[in-house]
């Protein structure tokens, strides 16, 4: 939800910074790697119970994700390879951050770490639904709990030391998003009631010669014992 509405405006407002980073030789892939390293350090801070420092690390891990697109545009290096690399690093960063939360909650002697693993599983499912839908030519963007919403909600949990309630909220909203995306793609992929199969694209017509051959009945052989 915020990922689609707010991200474009934020990236546009950060274009001067992206231009400056490109001028000093910083690449989009370099920013992506920096964000991944920051996420790893943030996960360690959260795991050790340094939640306020973890909040600062979370902000530092999220900034490169907003700036790498601007740097790629100004440098003329926008590509499918870069988009793939950025998406993979985002998934790894999500796993690291939630892993740090799970470690933190596990040290308290409770089973709350299982809750975090459930959030992580649904997070990966939501990302997979979009990736698979786009590979099939459908649209699965949107939902109430995309990546930006997850980072903001995690930041609230770190600032207020309310990780367990935040994880429950994240679990419910991520599950709703997963169902929402599934229904979106299901409706797009379902053929219309008239049976024309428009959802799968237009049907290819056979050449006239093949249509004629199909319409002719097979003749029986006059040789005994052969058909």
Active-site annotation, residues: 90
Half-sphere exposure of 212 (CA within 13 A, CB side): 3
Rounded Cα distance between 57 and 51, Å, is 9
CA–CA distance, 24 with 19 (Å, rounded to integer): 9
Angle 148-154-159 from CA coordinates, rounded to 5°: 125
The enclosing H or E element of 27 equals: none
Helix, strand or coil, per DSSP, at residue 40: helix
Which alpha helices (DSSP H) does 14-50 contain, by range?
Answer: 15-23, 28-47
What CA–CA distance (Å, rounded) separates 72 from 19? 9
Q: Are 45 and 85 in contact (CB under 8 A)?
A: no
Is the distance from CB of 46 to CB of 96 less than 8 angstroms?
A: no
């Amino acid at each position: 939800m915020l990922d689609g509405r707010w991200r474009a405006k934020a990236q546009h407002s950060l274009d001067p910074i992206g231009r400056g980073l490109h001028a000093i030789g910083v690449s989009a892939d370099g920013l992506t790697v920096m964000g991944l390293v920051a996420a790893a350090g943030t996960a360690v801070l959260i795991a050790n119970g340094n939640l306020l420092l973890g909040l600062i690390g979370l902000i530092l891990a999220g900034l490169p994700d907003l700036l790498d697109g601007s740097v790629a545009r100004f440098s003329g290096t926008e590509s499918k390879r870069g988009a793939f690399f950025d998406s993979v690093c985002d998934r790894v960063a999500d796993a690291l951050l939630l892993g740090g939360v799970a470690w933190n909650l596990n040290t308290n002697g409770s089973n709350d770490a299982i809750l975090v693993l459930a959030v992580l599983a649904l997070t990966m499912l939501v990302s997979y639904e979009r990736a698979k839908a786009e590979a099939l030519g459908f649209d699965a963007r949107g939902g109430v709990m995309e990546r930006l919403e997850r980072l903001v909600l995690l930041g609230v949990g770190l600032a207020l030391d309310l990780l367990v309630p935040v994880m429950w909220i994240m679990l419910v909203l991520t599950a709703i998003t997963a169902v929402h995306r599934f229904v979106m793609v299901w409706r797009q992929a379902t053929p219309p009631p008239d049976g024309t199969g428009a959802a799968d694209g237009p049907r290819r017509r056979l050449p006239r010669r093949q249509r004629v051959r199909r319409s002719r009945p097979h003749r029986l052989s006059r040789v005994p014992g052969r058909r």
